[in-house]
Every structure is written in C-alpha cells, then in structure tokens.
Amino acid sequence: MYKVKPISEANMDVDLPTCMYKLPNIHAQQTSCIEHAHQNGEVDPALKALESRQDEIMRRLYELKAAVDGLAKTVSSPDADLDATGLTHTPPGCAFTGPSDLNSLLGQDVGVLRDIVINANPTEPPFSLLVLHDMLCQRYRVLSSVHVHSSVSAVPPALLSCLGPSHPRSHKRQDFDFGFTLIWKDVPRVQMKFSVHSMCPVEGEGNVARFLYKLLVTPPSDPCQATLVDSWVDAALFQLAGGGADERAAMVKALNAALCRGAWLAGPELCLADVLCACGLLRSGGAPSAPSNVQKWLKSCENSGFFHCVLSLLH
C-alpha cells in the first residue's frame, strides 16, 4: 500500500476544554505504566489500591447490613417502640449437653445474627422462659435485650431488667451466637418468632418453652420419657397456672407422689417438666403450704441458680 503523511503531529499541543476528563494520546508511541507492569510480572499499584478500597467498602457494608437486619424486627413483626436495655450473659462453661449446631433449629447462618423474638404481656410474665433464658446463657453467647411496645402504658422496672445486667455498647452483634429479644406487649398469650419475615408466630408459653429447651438438650428418644415430660408441662400450664383451687391441690398431690420416687420429676436431673411445674407453683403462691417432698424439690430448683430472676420478681 502507499503511505500517507500524517495530518498532524503526534505531540502537537491542542487547547482542550477543562470541563471534560482527559484521556491519554492514543497516537503517541509510548508504553503505559500498566503495560510496563504487566511486562515485568508486577501488579499495578493503582490496582492494589482499588482492591484494598473495595475490600474496605465491602467490610463496612457487611457491618451496616448486620446492624440494619438487627433493627428489622422493630419494623416487621414485633414492632418494639422503646429499647429498654441491652443485655447479655457470657459465663464460662456449660452444664448442658445437646445440639451444638444452631443451623438445624434456627436456620442457616448467613452472616446476620439470628434473633429469637418473644412477645409477652407484662401482667403475666412468662417465668419459665426467663429460667430457660438463664440456661441458654450457660451454653451460648446470647445477646439479650428488653423492649416495650406502645400498646403497654407502663412496665415495672424489675421487668425491664429481668434478663440481667446491661452489656457494654462496644460489643458487636457478630460476637454472639444468637439474640434473645423480649418485648413487653399487650398480647393474649406468649408469642415467639425467630424469623420475622418467613414464619408464623409460635404461641403459648408451653410451646415456646419446648422450642427453647431443644436448643439445650436433644429431645429424648424414648417416647415414654417424652410423653411424661409433655404431660407435666401441660399439667403445669392448665392446672397450676390456669386451674382452680381444687385443680391446683390435685396437682400438688401429684407432684408430691412423683417426688417420692426421685429428686426430679422426669429423670435424674433438672428438665423442662421441673422448670414449668416449679414456675407454676411459685406463681400460684402454693409453695409455702406444699408437702415436704415438694418443698425439698423447690429448694433444689432454687439451688440450681436458674430461678434467681423469678424469685426476685416474686419477692
């Protein structure tokens, strides 16, 4: 082919407007810094800086997403209006054995703190759930908090601190295994959710207590043992808590007869049946006049260390 002389010089100075960004001269015969870096097998410093900046942005977005998801429960379902306090317990050691993988019960951990949200009426505090909360704090790192819903005009100060002392604000949500949020709300019965977007609430103190206890101990494989525990739980709710004087008296006699055969109601150690029955008996006010076996059993429950919150509320 024939050659054509260039129309303009490659290094010719041209006055350009300053309102646009500049691009390198593609006609100039020179090697860029990026090409030179690739030829030498080096990574361009500008690319390194860009990657570092992107990593920092992603880290900050992750923290922001975790914080927003933690606040989502106050917008979606339980709708708490007043954050009374933030609480946590992290005592060393654990006296319970059971499922250590929370994913099977609370769903897959996707980087956001899983939160168990419980609505309860302050006129009827769910004592058994407070006991189970203390048990959970023995096994897991629990981020606990108490809120007050706008449907409740006033809550006693003792109920605002029923989950223990406040934790330092410096703690991050990612440092805990799951959250335990108690909302004092005008509801007819206890309600629980641990996925506010994708599940119906679990209702009833007994059903919520059964779920929480599964986080501590694997359910018994023996159907007779499981039935025995369930029968005591139902009796505590319907006879001690919801029954009349005759039903409560019959329940105390049944407790005394069962405790003649062992120190606990359904096995060699404290279990869900003991928690519900003890809380029901303490709530009904029948503990002082109970038979000696029942008195001894109540003392053993108190000595376990999990009933201090219930006892302080009753006193």
C-alpha to C-alpha distance for 248 and 252, rounded to whole angstroms: 6
Indicate the DSSP class of residue 84.
Answer: E
What per-residue string of b and e applies to 126-137 under the rule 16 or more CB within 10 Å gives b?
Answer: bbbbbbbbbbbb
pLDDT of residue 253: 92
Identify whether 19 is part of a domain. no
The residue among 214, 237, 268 that closes a domain is: 214
**Average pLDDT per consecutive 10 residues, the chain (315 residues; last block may be shorter):** 74 72 67 53 78 87 74 49 44 42 66 82 92 91 88 88 72 78 92 75 91 86 88 90 86 92 90 93 87 92 90 86
Range of the domain at 173: 65-214
Tokens of 62: 């992750």
Identify whether 57 is part of a domain. no
pLDDT of residue 23: 73
The residue among 214, 246, 276 that closes a domain is: 214
> Computed over its alpha carbons, how large is the radius of gyration of the chain?
31
pLDDT of residue 231: 92
In 10 A of CB 233, how many CB atoms? 25
Say how many domains are in the chain: 2
Q: What 3-state class would DSSP assign to 119? A: strand
Q: Taking the chain, what is the end-to-end CA distance rounded to the nearest angstrom?
A: 105
pLDDT of residue 298: 93
Indicate the DSSP class of residue 173.
Answer: G
The residue among 185, 214, 243 that closes a domain is: 214
Identify whether 278 is part of a domain. yes
CA angle (210 as vertex; 208, 216 as ends), nearest 5: 110
Q: What is the pTM of this model?
A: 0.67
